[in-house]
Structure 1
Amino acid sequence: MVVCLGLALAGCSSSGNDSLAQQANAGGEKGYVAGDGSVSEYAPEQRGEPVQFEAEMFDGSTVSAESLRGKPAVVNFWYAGCAPCRAEAPDLVALHHEYQDRAQFLGVNLRDQQPTAEAFERNYGVDYPSASDLNGAVLLALSDYVPPQAVPTTLVLDEQGRVAARVLGKADKSTLDALIKDTVAESA
């Protein structure tokens, strides 16, 4: 798995201006590659096919991309040891409460065992579900939008399950709010 992620990161380094590739190549001890905070929005006519994935939840049930269709969804890739993930958690919780009737939220935990993930969720009041992606299946399925090791990354899916927006790195609350609001308005 580590070799595959390393190869994937190496493949992303074709541009000398790719900050994610530069961070990965530089190494370091922080344990993650921080996104640069860039935001990508996709107009409805420019969106690809609906995303496809299936993941196991920490309670043993499964979630699929199909189960998120019907209303917009926010999918956040995180893990407990990621400082930007801890910093954005309160904002994600607040937005979940604001949009709970109009948009679904799903966390995708990339590294933690269940007790660690649950401790993080209790500590930050995260009350939306998170899937475990220790095997990297969700990350691989969404690799067109989520660079390996770029944590956190947040996707906003439209009601059809297509990627409407992406934030690499810590999501600014007001920016994410605007992205969700725009996507919710499309489905109204």
Structure 2
Amino acid sequence: MKKILIILALTFSLGTVQAFSLDSLFAKKTIQLAEFSVTDIKGKTYNNHTVKGKYLVVNFWATWCPPCLKEIPDFVDFYSEYSDRVEILGMNYEKADKEKVIDFIDSFMVNYPIILDNKTNKPAFQKFGEVIGMPTTFVYAPDGALIKYYEGAIDMQTLKKSIGL
């Protein structure tokens, strides 16, 4: 009888240890916004301190990317409505001439900061995460926690849902 009780006790205790290990294995990990600093196409600097307290939407795009072109009007409308609580950084992820990009964003009436992929900004581009395809969008909470990641074009409704609107 003692042997059976010992075996049962060991079995239940191992199950508890395994359950604890599995819970910790599948626990949600929080990814925090890395320290960054970028300068937009107009010369204004953005970093962790300038976006603190706001949601941050980091959108990687290119002028040659059709899905990127599709989502830009929604980003413009979203920023017009929510710029008091959301900062959008449009990360132009291509080796493009500055004047070409300026002409492009002017034609779309882009109202949010556009960051060029240049020598100055390149280190920050890599800090937001891996970009496999475009467009790619990262959404961070006001405390810097990554809350959403999207590959492909997103619309205004998706942006609103990302920040709980």
Fold similarity call, TM over 0.5: yes
Aligned to 1:56: 39
Residue of 88, 96, 121 corresponding to 2:79? 96
Aligned to 1:140: 126
Question: Which letter does structure 1 place at the counterpart of 2:86?
Answer: A
Aligned to 2:101: 117
Aligned to 2:91: 108
Aligned to 1:152: 135
Are 1:78 and 2:64 an aligned pair? no
Structure 1 stretches lacking a partner, 5+ long: 1-44
The 10-residue stretch of structure 1 (46-55 or 166-175) with the greater mean CA deviation from structure 2: 46-55
CA distance in 1, matches of 2:35, 2:152: 22
Structure 2 stretches lacking a partner, 5+ long: 1-27
Aligned-pair CA distance for 1:93 = 0.6
Aligned to 2:152: 169
The structure with the largest alpha-carbon Rg is: 2
Identity of aligned residues (%): 29
TM-score computed with the length of structure 1 as normaliser: 0.64
CA distance in 2, matches of 1:96, 1:76: 12
Check 1:152–1:65 CA distance in 2 against 1; reply closer, same or farther (3 A cut): farther
Q: Decide whether the 8 Å contact of 1:80 with 1:116 is kept in 2.
A: no
Q: Decide whether the 8 Å contact of 1:51 with 1:163 is kept in 2.
A: no
Aligned-pair CA distance for 1:130 = 1.1
Structure 1 segments of 4+ aligned residues over 6 angstroms from their partners: none
Per-residue CA shift, 1:98-145, capped at 9, x if unaligned?
2122211111111122112111211111111111123432331122xx
Residue of 130, 133, 141 corresponding to 2:114? 130
For the residue of structure 2 that corresponds to 1:91, the secondary structure is helix
CA distance in 1, matches of 2:159, 2:85: 15
RMSD: 1.9
Corresponding residue pairs, total: 135
